[in-house]
Structure 1
């Protein structure tokens, strides 16, 4: 079985990524209700009881909303760093000790035929981290909730076969929108989220000859649109001389529907 993935959901209201190989089936984050998580897995013909582990990026509710319910119901092991375990304890309820595992930022853990590398990001959470998932020569990067994309992160995620990359907001929509200035300042700050423009620039700097798929993720429901994100990021990629739809696929994600289960 090839290394496959599906963005089960992505956006302001909830986030989860599914990954599978012949030997392992993982979730990264479980940010929707337990009922919705089951529905999303069903959209790609997968069963929740077959999930081998859930990896947690950080404690914000759009990443852990269904975690406690899911883990208890299906006896799923959960991996998070110690600061995140502490920060999310009141939000997920009690999880049996035998299901709780530490996975610290800037370390690597093996899950049978998968190797998962965590990296710290700048975001307003206790100890937020995201992941580069490796199987053989194949590499998938999940990078959302980024205040900015540091040179270190760019080096770490360079030339991935597939990216699930944040394109949170259109800056003009955000500035003209209804959010109070304090919230706008948080989103625009170094511990907030990156814009379509920032995402496009970062992707041109990490793109390599292995890169074939980019999924635009964590779009704000109030301050972005799929078409706008795709256009903005696409313009940057086309400046590299890339032919979208032929040399590289640029795809939407959705807060309510899973993407097609796709090989890396």
Structure 2
């Protein structure tokens, strides 16, 4: 079966694990090498067995540990050309034979596991996230986007499980300590999705088979787990999508992995 865990999610670092049909992948490694090894130990998996690392974009909270892990464990790294260019000098030397291309809006297959990439709206070179398809199951990873377009919704619609950005509470952000330039970036079309906007997007993509939605990439300073869950729940229930019946909302954490889950 397809198994996955949100190893870490938040403004301090992000990493996601998925395995199926004899292949396993790490999506991003936004923590140190030692922290990544500890996270893998928590889900009883070994980094040396990875089939590769998939990169979403070049921001440090997504690539901090990639170079270290790639060199230590001789892992393939997959990214699009513009992201490879943007990462140059940020992850240290990586051997040419470990560098693989995974362009936006394409699909790569590894035995029965198909991985589909799609573009998002974020202030990076060419940010993209992934949909995992295996034996009729569909798992979506979507964070780091200023909004969820109709094109994105079409790609991610009716998944069995979502890891969905719910970055900030708008009022907390507006009243918080960040300078206005950073607030404007986060609130803009190339920033991050708020709790309410995430919920509105969910209303358009949740399908009959959707069972789990993980609220991800919560801001350390401008959100809280309970607040995100309450805000998303209220918006969904206003749209006649009661949480806890067909599907459940689940937390993610910047330091503690979610349980390795089977779809």
TM range (shorter): over 0.9
CA–CA distance in structure 2, aligned partners of residues 144 and 30 of structure 1? 14
Aligned to 1:249: 248
Aligned to 2:238: 239
Determine helix, strand or coil for the equivalent of 1:127: coil
CA–CA distance in structure 2, aligned partners of residues 220 and 74 of structure 1? 31
Per-residue deviation, residues 162-206 of structure 1 (Å, max 9, x unmatched): 000000000000000000000000000000001000000000110
What TM-score do the two structures reach when normalised by structure 1?
Answer: 0.98
Aligned to 2:106: 107
Alpha carbons 2:159, 2:207 under 8 Å: kept: yes
Aligned to 1:29: 28
Gaps of 5+ in 1: none
Determine helix, strand or coil for the equivalent of 1:210: coil
Query: What's the RMSD between the two structures over aligned residues?
Result: 0.9
Aligned to 1:89: 88
Determine helix, strand or coil for the equivalent of 2:255: coil
Deviation at 1:95? 0.6
Deviation at 1:237? 2.3
Deviation at 1:235? 1.4
Aligned to 1:140: 139
CA–CA distance in structure 1, aligned partners of residues 5 and 31 of structure 2? 15
Q: How does 1:42-57 map to 2 (within 5 A)?
A: 42-57=41-56
Q: How does 1:96-175 map to 2 (within 5 A)?
A: 96-175=95-174
Determine helix, strand or coil for the equivalent of 1:234: helix
CA–CA distance in structure 2, aligned partners of residues 113 and 41 of structure 1? 24
Alpha carbons 1:24, 1:113 under 8 Å: kept: no
CA–CA distance in structure 1, aligned partners of residues 10 and 245 of structure 2? 27
What TM-score do the two structures reach when normalised by structure 2?
Answer: 0.98
CA–CA distance in structure 1, aligned partners of residues 25 and 224 of structure 2? 29
Spell out structure 1 runs of 4+ moving beyond 6 A.
none
Alpha carbons 1:15, 1:29 under 8 Å: kept: yes
Q: What number of residue pairs does the alignment pair up?
A: 263
Aligned to 1:38: 37
